[in-house]
Amino acid sequence: MDNLSIKKSGLAALALGAIGVVYGDIGTSPLYTMQVIFSESTGVPLTQANILGAVSAIFWLLTLVVTFKYVLLVLRAHNKGEGGVMALLALALSTLRTQDKRARGLLLLGVLGAALFYGDSVLTPAISVLSAVEGLQVVSPALAAQVLPIAIGILIGLFWFQRHGTHAVGRFFGPIVIVWFLALASVGIWQISQVPDVLHAIHPQYAWQFLQSRGGAMFIAIGAILLAVTGAEALYADMGHFGRRAIQLAWLGLVFPCLALNYLGQGALLLQHPEAASNPFYLSFPQPLLIPAVVLATLATIIASQAVISGAFSMTRQAIQLGFLPRMRIIHTSASEPGQIYIPAVNWALLIAVIIVCLAFQSSSALASAYGIAVTGTMLITTILIFFVMRQRWQFPGWVAWPLISMLALMDSVLFGSASMKFMQGGWFPIVLSGVLIVLMTTWKKGRHLLLAGMVNTDPKLMPLIANLVDSKLPRVQRTAVYMVSNLESVPQALLHNLKHNQVLHQRNLFVHVKFEDVPLLNTQERVRVQKMADGFWQVELHYGFMQHVDVPQALLQLRLDSETQNGQLLDPFTCSYFLSRDIIVPDVGGNMPRWRDQLFLVLSRNASSAVEYFNIPANSVIELGSRVQI
């Protein structure tokens, strides 16, 4: 097999993987979109013109938002192959100067985008699984009371299974999504064959007439139609797992045609049987296939939920490493794929939130009101951030960038405004959740900044102390002391306590600082930077991308402590002692943050994961020494 054939087969395999993971969310939208459009809450009459107009609006929204904006434009904005709002934020910030006032605004936008994504991570499992299980009501109305308990049971099982890793879930359920899309297309073609006139809906005039005829109620109708593009952000967020070309191939080659055929098929059903508006998706299937359709839909929604849950894990790790969240325990579930992680605290917090949402809203139709704001808000933020990339990084001329971004921003603003019409019916939920998360993230970011600034101002400088220690008569221990520090210029408290209480020095003393760059991945060759300060003392910087796992002992194995000799002195991991400072934070009266934020930062600090786990340091090699720090 030649290289071209190998590349083609590899691309095909990645495209199949993208179908199973990336498109699970948007692929389950047909379960509820048409049902919500013609529900009582929107007030859209079931007429032939409205049915054709709604299908046409869905088709062109998929074309403009997903195909044009995300597949053809946004996927180009990769940060060393990685996507997602945090990666795009880092890419946009890299185009600005350090003191540019716009950087602060972009930073807040990125935090808001991340917070809205967490809202999406709560709502997607709830609405997807509920909408699938609601098919039982179509099979037998007597089963209506069992829908909520069954859905919650499935969700508990899904979140419990997360600890086995994304690969295990995807391997088991991934092929089901491909069968799901083929089923969508098949039932769509069957319905279209009975009412071919529905194909007229492909013409954009039907979408325009439908929206124009709504008048002021147009926003309510758009708020329902936008449910067809929920999950579009996943195309970008999961780019690092499958690559741009594979995601594009999967969308254009299978997913888009199957979705379009299914929506056209539901429209054909409603033209022939308007009474099917109560659940046009399930009523599209022949009666004998209803139960298999419910089972298949449930399996498809599980993998759709899996995609957004794993996305929340990745988003959390990026936020931690960019300094917006405290350390959390991160478990790697794959030896070969560093991106496959499991964060227990996030997993169980999401499960509790999802169960509360299910119990509060009771049905997928009620949840649809809350769903749109989180999705469209993230879309609008992506458009704003991509503008900076287009102008500053890609060097698009103004006459190209401004009209293009203006069109996309107008479209996203209309979608967001439409979703906001449902604020009192549930749209408040993602806004309140995002507000809480923004407070947490900005409090942690500012608190850490104040903490480190205070340490720089109060702690003695390192170089003068080293100069005194070199000439001192302190006994030397034949081991290596590794001091983990947040600032290489100041004396770590752990060293001061070690000198005060033990009155000894180690033969080799390393001051190690871990720094995360604004890129997702760094090569191993770029990891370690070392500078000799004096005999027996070295400053070491370990550099990581914001999507990489920190392993300090592994990184130090590359270290050569004496660059003046040809081979250098390799570090022996069995003779290392790691000294960590455990900061006891004391809020200062009249500090830079309000009292309530001081207390919140204190709570976050106390519940942060141990640095031992985060830096992957062997517990039996660690010595922790406490110090009081004011903020």
String of DSSP letters for 132-188: HHTHHHHH-GGGGGGHHHHHHHHHHHHHHHGGG-HHHHHHHHHHHHHHHHHHHHHHH
Give pLDDT tens digits for 340-388.
Answer: 678 899 999 999 999 999 998 888 877 877 778 888 888 999 999 999 8
Mean pLDDT of the chain: 84
Mean of pLDDT values over 245-272: 94
Q: Chain centroid to CA 557: how far?
A: 32
The residue that leads in pLDDT, 352 or 23, is 352
User: How does residue 4 score in pLDDT terms, banded at 50, 70 and 90?
Assistant: very low
Lowest mean pLDDT among 216-230, 555-569, 598-612: 555-569
User: Taking 80 as the threshold, does the pLDDT of residue 197 lie above it?
Assistant: yes
Q: What is the pLDDT of residue 399?
A: 93
Whether the predicted model's global pTM rises above the 0.85 cut: no
Lowest mean pLDDT among 10-14, 348-352, 464-468: 10-14
Long-range contacts of 332-340 (CB under 8 A, 24+ apart): 332/549, 333/163, 333/164, 333/165, 333/166, 333/167, 333/168, 334/165, 334/166, 334/167, 337/167, 338/547, 338/548, 338/549, 339/240, 339/241, 339/314, 339/547, 340/165, 340/166, 340/167, 340/310
Q: What is the pLDDT of residue 251?
A: 93
Give pLDDT tens digits for 43-64.
Answer: 888 999 999 999 999 999 999 9
Distance CA 412, CA 384 (A): 10
125: left (phi over 0), alpha (psi -120 to 50) or beta: alpha
Lowest mean pLDDT among 254-268, 362-376, 387-401: 362-376
Q: Chain centroid to CA 227: how far?
A: 19
Q: What is the pLDDT of residue 629?
A: 66
Q: What is the pLDDT of residue 3?
A: 45
Distance CA 575, CA 163 (A): 34
Q: What is the pLDDT of residue 559?
A: 80
Exposed (0-12), middle (13-18) or buried (19+): which is 196, by Cβ within 10 Å? Answer: exposed
Distance CA 530, CA 538 (A): 7
> Could you tell me the CA-to-CA distances from 203 to 38, 49, 274, 408 in Å, in that order?
21, 13, 22, 21
User: How does residue 319 score in pLDDT terms, banded at 50, 70 and 90?
Assistant: confident
User: Taking 60 as the threshold, does the pLDDT of residue 337 lie above it?
Assistant: no
User: How does residue 252 score in pLDDT terms, banded at 50, 70 and 90?
Assistant: very high
CB-CB contact of 368 with 423 (8 Å): no
Mean of pLDDT values over 432-460: 84
Portion of the chain with pLDDT greater than 90, in percent: 27
User: Taking 80 as the threshold, does the pLDDT of residue 482 lie above it?
Assistant: yes
The residue that leads in pLDDT, 421 or 216, is 421
